[in-house]
C-alpha cells in the first residue's frame, strides 16, 4: 500500500514547495528541541520572577517591533505575473 502511495505522489514530494516545507519544519523542530533541552538548566539558574520579567519585556518588544517596522514585509516588490512551477 505504501509503495502505491509513494509511486503516485513521488513527483509532488520532490517539488520545491515540499522541499521548502520540509526545511521550515526541520528548523522549527530543531529550535523546539534546543529550548526543550535547555529548560531544565535555565529553570535551576533563574527564578520564576526572572522569567516573568523576561516575558513582560518580550511582550512589550513584540508590540514595539510591529509599530516600528511599519509592516515592512508589504513593501517588498512582487512580480506582476507569477510563473507556474514546473513539476517534473
pLDDT in tens, 18-59: 888 899 999 999 999 999 999 999 999 999 999 999 999 999
What was the pLDDT predicted at 87?
67
What was the pLDDT predicted at 1?
64
pLDDT in tens, 56-86: 999 999 999 888 887 776 666 666 777 766 6
Q: Using the predicted structure, report yes or no on whether residue 88 has a pLDDT greater than 60.
A: no
* Residue ranges covered by each domain of the chain: 2-75
- Please report where in the chains the cell 511599519 appears, as a residue: 70
DSSP for 16-80 reads: HHHHHHHHHHHHHHHHHHHHHHHHHHHHHHS-HHHHHHHHHHHHHHHHHHHHHHTSGGGGS---S
What was the pLDDT predicted at 35?
93
Amino acid at each position: 500500500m505504501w509503495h502505491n502511495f509513494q509511486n503516485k505522489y513521488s513527483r509532488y514530494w520532490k517539488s520545491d514547495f515540499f522541499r521548502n516545507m520540509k526545511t521550515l519544519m526541520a528548523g522549527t523542530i530543531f529550535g523546539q528541541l534546543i529550548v526543550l533541552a535547555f529548560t531544565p538548566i535555565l529553570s535551576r539558574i533563574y527564578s520564576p520572577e526572572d522569567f516573568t520579567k523576561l516575558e513582560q519585556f518580550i511582550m512589550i518588544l513584540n508590540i514595539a517591533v510591529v509599530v516600528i517596522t511599519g509592516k515592512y514585509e508589504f513593501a517588498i516588490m512582487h512580480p506582476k505575473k507569477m510563473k507556474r512551477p514546473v513539476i517534473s
